Amino acid sequence: MSEALLSASAQIPPTSDGVEVVSAAADSRLKGYVPRWLGLGLAAAFIGMVALWAIFPQIFTAGDPFAGNITARLQPPSTLHWFGTDNLGRDLFTRVVYGTSLSLKATVVALLIAFVTSSVIGVVAGYLGGVVDEIVMRVVDVLLAIPQLLISLMLISALGFGTINIALAVGIASIASFSRVMRSQVLRVCASPYVEAARSYGAKWYVICFRHVFPQARGPVSALVAIEFGSAVLSISALSFLGYGAVPPTPEWGNLVADGRNYLATAWWLTTIPGLVIIITVIAVNTIGRAFNRTGGAQ
């Protein structure tokens, strides 16, 4: 036993008042932070570029997303056509850039619907409690038991096709998960002294809910919006891929992937490149959402 202790102690480097140990610990932490912040910076840069695609597409391409050149059909990626061309000779990069606007607008609308509606439901159910809370939570449990994509498909069957209807369907399908998070935060905030003080002064329940409770409970739901943004992009792209989105030839990320599925053997870029744009966007948004959650967005 003594020999083992001596050999172990011999492997510990000599220190001067623990300076070397602290320095080594700081270096290890720095090595963990650098890749994290580097990845976060790359994710933010990509999302910024995608946002500019949606707002100012003409800055990135001077082409027409609907104009084709049959003599240049199915050309692979090159310096002339960065993402190649499709079966009608249309520049794929131009169509991806112009399709960003519809896809992101639908995502933002869906998340706004989910956030606003779930905030009202969660605040009212959590604050009132009792029978109201039981009924609302049982409905939420039923909705959570059904896959969101299936709920979206059922809603689209009733609402009809189109990008706006896709946004409505995805937003309504996301209400249940947002409502549960909001309710749990409302229950926590309602136990605070200032809420009890507002009740004792005779303030109306809806005033307490939306002036005192909601501002303190919305943090985790805001963080969930950032995290669920990627899921909403995937859901909207999937529904568009299935043909429920914008009517061709209007470019949209999902239908761009669908347009190239008949040319996988001869023109791989038609599905691969739009698919990669969707995947990288989802990964970048999730990276930013997790960072936001870690740095206190959920408090």
Write out pLDDT tens, residues 105-131.
999 999 999 999 998 898 888 888 889
Number of domains in the chain: 1
- Across 255-281, average pLDDT: 93
Q: Which pLDDT score, from 0 to 100, does residue 22 have?
A: 41
Indicate whether 69 belongs to any domain. Answer: no
Give one word for 68, left, alpha or beta, with left for phi > 0 and alpha for psi -120 to 50.
Answer: beta
Per-residue pLDDT tens over the stretch 133-145: 899 989 999 998 9
The amino acid sitting at 75 is: Q
pLDDT value, residue 21? 43
Name the residue range of residue 161's domain: 50-61+82-297
Domain presence at residue 161: yes
Burial of residue 266 (CB within 10 Å: 0-12, 13-18, 19+) is exposed
Residue 22 lies in a domain: no
Q: What are phi and psi of 91, to 5 degrees?
A: -70, 120
Q: What is the pTM of this model?
A: 0.80
104: domain CATH number is 1.10.3720.10
